[in-house]
Amino acid sequence: MFRSRLWLVRHPAPPALPTDSLPHRAVLPLAAAPWLLLLAALLFVASFYQRVLHGDEAWIGEQAYWAAKEGIVRSELFDGFLGAGTRQWVYHWLFVWQAAGVIRLVGWSALVLKLISLTYLGIFALICRPHLRHYLATAAARRLFWAVLLLNALVVEYGFVFRPEIMLMCLGFGSWVLLQRWLHTGQTQWYQLVLAAALAGLAAATHLNGLIYLAAGAGLLAWRRQWSGGALFATVGGAVFALCFLDVLVHDAWGTYLRQFAPAIGGTKSGHGFALVLRALAEHKRFFHSPLETALSLLVLAAAVALYRSRWRTPRLTDATLYLLLLVVALAALSQSKTTKYLVLYLPHLCLLVAAGFERLPARPGWVRGMLAVVLGFYVIVNGVYTGLLIGQHEDRVARNQQLATQLSAYRNTCIVAPMHLVFNQIETFTIQGVTCYLVQAETRQQRPNGLMLFEEAARSRRRLIVLDDHSLKDLNLPRPVAGGTYGGYRYAYRFHDYYIYKAL
pLDDT digit string (tens) for 33-83? 899 999 999 999 999 999 999 989 999 999 999 999 999 999 999 999 999
Indicate the SS3 state at residue 504. strand
Confidence of residue 200 (pLDDT cuts 50, 70, 90): very high
Separation of alpha carbons 163 and 368, rounded Å: 38
Confidence of residue 285 (pLDDT cuts 50, 70, 90): confident
In angstroms, the Cα distances linking 30 to 2, 146, 358 are 42, 12, 7
Question: Does any domain span residue 483?
Answer: yes
436 and 317 share a domain?
A: no
Q: CA–CA distance from 52 to each of 8, 59, 157, 164 (Å)?
A: 50, 15, 10, 17
Contacts of residue 145, defined as CB under 8 A and 6 or more positions apart, other chains included, come to 132, 136, 351, 352, 354, 355
The whole-chain average pLDDT of the chain stands at 89
Whether 217 and 345 map to the same domain: the answer is yes
Omega before 425 cis (within 30°)? yes
| Residue 471 clears pLDDT 70, i.e. is over it | yes
Whether 503 shows a pLDDT value over 90: the answer reads yes
Question: How far, in Å, CA of 94 to CA of 201, rounded?
Answer: 11
Report which of 118, 322, 331 is spatially closest to residue 207, judged by C-alpha positions: 331
Burial label for 188, CB within 10 Å (0-12, 13-18, 19+), is exposed
> Is residue 438 one of the residues assigned to a domain?
yes
pLDDT score of 146: 97
If 0-12 CB within 10 Å is exposed, 13-18 middle and 19+ buried, where does residue 322 land? middle
Domain count, the chain: 2
Per the model's pLDDT, the better-predicted residue between 366 and 96 turns out to be: 96
- According to DSSP, the residues that pair with 503 across neighbouring strands are 465, 491
Q: Worst-scoring range by mean pLDDT, 75-89, 144-158, 180-194, 292-306?
A: 180-194
Handedness of CA 129, 130, 135, 140 (dihedral sign): positive
Helices 211-223, 190-206: axis angle to 10 degrees equals 150
Inform me whether the pLDDT recorded for 241 exceeds 80. Answer: yes
Residue 20: CA count within 13 A, CB half-sphere: 3
Higher pLDDT, 14 or 347: 347
Confidence of residue 274 (pLDDT cuts 50, 70, 90): low
Q: How confident is the model at residue 272, as a pLDDT?
A: 54
* pLDDT > 90? residue 170: yes
Residue 152 belongs to what domain range? 23-391
- pLDDT at position 501 is 96
Taking residues 178-196, what's their average pLDDT? 89
- The letter for the amino acid at 245 is F
> 60: number of CA atoms within 13 Å, CB side?
26
Strands 499-504, 490-496: pairing is antiparallel
Residue 7 lies in a domain: no
Q: What is the mean pLDDT of residues 128-150?
A: 92
The CA distance from 475 to 485, in Å, is 20
Nearest to 317 by CA among 53, 64, 112, 18: 18
Average pLDDT over residues 4-8: 39
Over pLDDT 70: what percentage of the chain?
91
Predicted local confidence at residue 484, as pLDDT: 85
Co-location of 358 and 451 in the same domain: no
Residue of 239, 238, 233 whose CA lies nearest to 193: 233
**Is residue 113 situated within a structural domain?**
yes
What is the DSSP annotation of 269-294? TTTSTTHHHHHHHTTHHHHSSSHHHH
Residues 184 and 81 reside in one and the same domain = yes
Last residue of a domain, one of 371, 391, 411: 391
User: Are residue 289 and residue 417 in the same domain, yes or no?
Assistant: no
Give the per-residue pLDDT at 4: 42
Q: Is the pLDDT of residue 236 over 70?
A: yes
**What is the arrangement of strands in the sheet containing 431-434, beginning at the earlier edge strand?**
431-434, 415-418, 465-468, 499-504, 490-496, 486-487
Paired sense of beta strands 415-418 and 431-434, if any: parallel
pLDDT at position 283: 83
Q: What is the pLDDT of residue 10?
A: 43
Report if residue 125 sits inside a domain.
yes
The answer, yes or no, to whether residue 299 has pLDDT greater than 70, is: yes
**What's the average model confidence in pLDDT over 97-113?**
96
For residue 327, pLDDT over 90 is answered with yes
Is the domain of 142 the same as that of 278?
Answer: yes
User: Is residue 16 scored above 70 in pLDDT?
Assistant: no
Residue 266: CB partners within 8 Å, gap ≥ 6?
336
* Per-residue pLDDT at 470 exceeds 80: yes
Across the range 301-313, mean pLDDT stands at: 85
In this structure, are 252 and 233 located in the same domain?
yes
Contacts of 254 (CB under 8 A, 6+ apart): 248
Whether the per-residue pLDDT at 18 is higher than 70: the answer is no
- Report helix angle 165-183 to 190-206, nearest 10: 160
Q: Does 351 lie in the same domain as 449?
A: no
Residue 338 lies in a domain: yes
Query: Strand, helix or coil at 77?
Result: coil
383 and 461 in a single domain? The answer is no
Asked if 165 and 213 sit in the same domain, the reply is yes
Q: Which of 391, 425, 458 is the last residue of a domain?
A: 391
